[in-house]
Chain A
Amino acid sequence: MVTTRDLEAHFEFECKACENGHCSKADVEKILAERKGLKDFYETFKEHIRECKRMTYGQYMFVIDREILPEAVLWWHNHPEFKETHLSTAVGTDERPLNGKFAFIPFLNVQVEPLNMDGNYWVFLKTYMPADDPSFPSVAAKLPAALWIEREVKDLLGFNPINHPDPRRLILPEDWPEGVYPLRKDMDYKHSPITEPKTEYRPTPKDTSLVPMGPVHAGVEEPAHFRLFVKGEEIVDVDYRGFYSHRGIEKTGEGRLTYNQILFLAERICGICGYQHSVSYAMAVERLADVEIPDRARYIRTLLLELERIHNHLLWVGIAAHLVGYDTGFMHAWRIREPVMWLVERLTGNRKQYGMNIVGGVRRDLLDYRKEEVLKVVRQIREDTKKFLDIALNTNTFIKRAEGVGILPYKVAKAYSVLGPTARASGRKIDARLDQATKTAMAYNEVDFKVPVYKEGDVLARVLVRMDELFESIWIVEQLIDQMPGGNIMVPIGDLPEYEEALGFTEAHRGEVVHYVMTGEKNKVYRWKVRAPTYNNLPAIPEMLKGYHVADAPIIIASIDPCYSCTERVQFVDIKTRKVKVLTEAEFNELSIKHKGVF
């Protein structure tokens, strides 16, 4: 069994920075030999790589020239051996106060071997841009997964992705003036200018009519505006405008909070997967500070993460049943879910927003007599869910509406970097719990569970993936309670190192949550970037909707388990993007009317 102590990052050597690969004197050859694929990348782009280093265990950074950014990203993404590699997201940073440059960092989840956390790693491709010309060649022109993120940095930081196929506003509201970039360091976090609203909807394609859906989604009860272009009953195309619940959380975190206060803000990004965000953020800071948290804290975190997954999947299956008109299922799913909420309330002090984390461990211990109650509740849930599924999956109302609807093929799922159960229902074998080294913050390496994968890619497959996962989660909870070690529940962190970067990640119920943290001076955070899984899943929705009926739209949209609040922690607005060639906006619009579908 591997324990955290085995991590190389925690060995004590004379020069800790060298050993971690941060130091300029660190042996590049040695770092590149650590993981499969790094050496090949270095050889291929040798003359464009300025620097390479290991940020922390399993996270590598290459500083590359901006000209080759798309090639470098695609080299990893289309690597013939590393099939499930995906572009996770990218971060734009205003580093002008440090070195007078802007930085754009796409990062990839490189999967040498699926579900092998010691073989896989993250690759950061950092590109510096001069302050007077923050532009870079667009990756989105060749890879749809980068569509939103490049529009995001364009809105928030004023970067210019050259040849981006759809350079409309994504995040900022319509009444935000041009040329004001909120995430630049020279803007105060309280500043909020307003001008006349200016909407940029896509024109309705010829011979279609418009069915607006939103601005508030009927089933999920959150703001998102879908504009369905229909021919009769059939959906031909979709335009999306969201980011109505952008709250500027990242700016607030960078502007005035200390690193422990951000933890609670991170937990409030989402009402459902709050603890996942909290753990991700804590993990990023712990990686930075290079501390090893006690085993008991890792177990308690994992236990709560899995309890959260259980109640979320039950909540989701309830909503799915509700959206197809099977309200009995909705009532029963939520009835089954309620005891988990009660249990968590007693374990942590609240039904949601557990407030259990602190950087370096957890705040409340799990009292021993509670263990029996946890087991009692999860066993009850297993019984009840089995009974519920027995009935629900034999109900025609449910099956007929879910089967063969909203199909997302594997190739599209990969091109959009779709994550979580949505991806697993389309045959992608990914699960951030095992894919990447979560062992510093969570105990997934010490429990046994399977990752269910379905090939069908329709709504029913997404239901089944989630239900299989639910039973796996119950099994994980039972193992955790059984193996729970004793000892402390937290270690103090002390001062954070300055200007270090690290990534924290968990597998939320919808996919991988990623928190990128760059520290500043005096224990503050210089840059904090949150990427919720819906951010990657939502751009793929138009691909799922095309060709199905308007009546199927709510269930297809809900089938990715969208969470607009998490996605929109930074504002954005999107519209489905299509053809991918080098075009001006007008040409692009023209083309989008003529052509149908990219894939």
Chain B
Amino acid sequence: MAEAPPYSEKLKSWDRFEAERFSRKAPITTPYPFIDIEKPPEYRGIPHINPEKCIGCGACANVCPPDALIMEWDKEHGVKRLTYNAARCIRCARCIEVCPTGAMEPTTRFEIATNNKEDLVEVVEHKLAYCEDCDEYLDFTERQIEYVRNILPREIFHLYALEDRIKLTQEEKMRRTVVKLRETEGNIYSTFILLNTREGGEE
């Protein structure tokens, strides 16, 4: 298979098919709905969630101006649901900018007319992490924890004892901190470390 040209080359060489016709003056209209229109590579079309890369952090839902991306928690079933609705999307591509894993993928698709509104909705469901001590689901997903594991250096992990604590709920973590504090009474240094642990675990 021939190798695809690099993206920058593609940007330079791309030209719209109407351009040649345009230089000839007439006719310059195109029978649009009956032909396919290719948008330039820079075009901001509707984005698409790649479920394999998505970790369910919700950064996209936080920045989305028109609420086209919504994050919902279903604690009973242990599911965190990211819903993308192309009908609400204004194609500003903020979600693509902020996504930490590149799961929001830009496309050049622009035709979203449909008979069925459900075609426009993309849903990604994530499994929430589970705290066995409290018998409760956490606020964040298993993939988020996995992501934190991968990006945090090993030493920090050990320093804050994250291996044990990362899958605990906020209450359980605080409870354990209090217990630890009692044990290490008077040792200010370790107290300091334990207090900071919470932030590390939350991501």
Nearest-CB residue, chain B, relative to A364: B42
- Contact status of A355 and B91, CB under 8 A, knowing A339-B22, A369-B12: yes
Nearest-CB residue, chain A, relative to B39: A345
Out of A264, A346, A363, A369, which one reaches B42, CB within 8 Å? A346
Asked whether any CB of chain A lies closer than 8 Å to the CB of B121, the reply is no
- Which residues on A sit within 8 Å (CB–CB) of B40? 345-346
- Contact status of A349 and B42, CB under 8 A, knowing A339-B22, A355-B91: yes
- Which residues on B sit within 8 Å (CB–CB) of A369? 12
Are A355 and B65 touching (Cβ within 8 A)? no
Asked whether any CB of chain B lies closer than 8 Å to the CB of A338, the reply is yes
Nearest-CB residue, chain A, relative to B8: A367
Are B22 and A338 touching (Cβ within 8 A)? yes
- Which residues on A sit within 8 Å (CB–CB) of B44? 349-350, 355
Are A261 and B63 touching (Cβ within 8 A)? yes
Nearest-CB residue, chain B, relative to A331: B28
Segment 231-268 of A: residues with Cβ below 8 Å from B = 257, 260-262, 264-265, 268
Asked whether any CB of chain B lies closer than 8 Å to the CB of A422, the reply is no
Which applies to chain B's interface (DSSP): helix, strand, loop or mixed?
loop
Asked whether any CB of chain B lies closer than 8 Å to the CB of A201, the reply is no
- Which residues on B sit within 8 Å (CB–CB) of A261? 63-65
- Which residues on A sit within 8 Å (CB–CB) of B28? 335
Are B12 and A355 touching (Cβ within 8 A)? no
Are A342 and B16 touching (Cβ within 8 A)? yes
- Which residues on B sit within 8 Å (CB–CB) of A345? 39-40, 42-43
> Considering the chains assembled together, what is the distance between the CA atoms of A338 and B16 in angstroms?
12
Which applies to chain A's interface (DSSP): helix, strand, loop or mixed?
helix
> Considering the chains assembled together, what is the distance between the CA atoms of A353 and B39 in angstroms?
16
> Considering the chains assembled together, what is the distance between the CA atoms of A342 and B19 in angstroms?
10
Are A265 and B97 touching (Cβ within 8 A)? no
Out of B11, B39, B94, which one reaches A264, CB within 8 Å? B94
- Which residues on B sit within 8 Å (CB–CB) of A348? 42
A534 to chain B, nearest CB (A): 23
Nearest-CB residue, chain A, relative to B28: A335
User: 1/0 contact trace for B7-26 toward A, CB 8 Å?
Assistant: 00001100010010010000
- Which residues on B sit within 8 Å (CB–CB) of A268? 90
User: 1/0 contact trace for B36-47 toward A, CB 8 Å?
Assistant: 000110111000
- Which residues on B sit within 8 Å (CB–CB) of A265? 65
- Which residues on A sit within 8 Å (CB–CB) of B12? 369
User: 1/0 contact trace for B63-103 toward A, CB 8 Å?
Assistant: 11110000000000000000000000011111001000000
Using C-beta atoms within 8 Å of the partner chain, give the interface range for chain A.
20 to 34
> Considering the chains assembled together, what is the distance between the CA atoms of A338 and B97 in angstroms?
29
Are B93 and A349 touching (Cβ within 8 A)? yes
- Contact status of A350 and B91, CB under 8 A, knowing A339-B22, A342-B16, A363-B97: yes
Nearest-CB residue, chain A, relative to B62: A258
> Considering the chains assembled together, what is the distance between the CA atoms of A363 and B98 in angstroms?
12
B86 to chain A, nearest CB (A): 15
Are B90 and A353 touching (Cβ within 8 A)? yes
A281 to chain B, nearest CB (A): 13
> Considering the chains assembled together, what is the distance between the CA atoms of A310 and B195 in angstroms?
59
- Which residues on A sit within 8 Å (CB–CB) of B11? 367
> Considering the chains assembled together, what is the distance between the CA atoms of A256 and B43 in angstroms?
29
Nearest-CB residue, chain B, relative to A342: B16
A495 to chain B, nearest CB (A): 16
* Most chain A CB neighbours (cut-off 10 Å) among B12, B43, B92, B93: B92
- Which residues on A sit within 8 Å (CB–CB) of B90? 264, 268, 353
Segment 309-350 of A: residues with Cβ below 8 Å from B = 335, 338-339, 342, 345-350
> Considering the chains assembled together, what is the distance between the CA atoms of A369 and B12 in angstroms?
8
User: 1/0 contact trace for A259-295 toward B, CB 8 Å?
Assistant: 0111011001000000000000000000000000000
- Which residues on A sit within 8 Å (CB–CB) of B19? 342
> Considering the chains assembled together, what is the distance between the CA atoms of A353 and B66 in angstroms?
14
Are B92 and A264 touching (Cβ within 8 A)? yes
B17 to chain A, nearest CB (A): 12
- Which residues on B sit within 8 Å (CB–CB) of A260? 63, 94
B130 to chain A, nearest CB (A): 32
> Considering the chains assembled together, what is the distance between the CA atoms of A273 and B165 in angstroms?
53
A206 to chain B, nearest CB (A): 51
- Which residues on A sit within 8 Å (CB–CB) of B22? 338-339
> Considering the chains assembled together, what is the distance between the CA atoms of A392 and B161 in angstroms?
78
- Which residues on B sit within 8 Å (CB–CB) of A353? 90-91
Are A355 and B92 touching (Cβ within 8 A)? yes
> Considering the chains assembled together, what is the distance between the CA atoms of A335 and B24 in angstroms?
12
- Which residues on B sit within 8 Å (CB–CB) of A367? 11
- Which residues on A sit within 8 Å (CB–CB) of B43? 345, 349-350
A-B contact pairs, 5 of them (CB 8 A): A264-B66, A335-B28, A349-B42, A355-B44, A369-B12
Given contact pairs A261-B64, A342-B19, enumerate 8 new A-B contacts (beta carbons under 8 Å): A260-B63, A262-B65, A338-B22, A345-B43, A346-B42, A353-B91, A355-B92, A363-B97
Using a CB–CB cutoff of 8 Å, the interface residues on chain B facing chain A are: 11-12, 16, 19, 22, 28, 39-40, 42-44, 63-66, 90-94, 97
Q: Top 8 A-B pairs ranked by shortest CB distance?
A: A349-B44, A261-B65, A264-B65, A355-B92, A264-B92, A346-B40, A349-B42, A346-B42
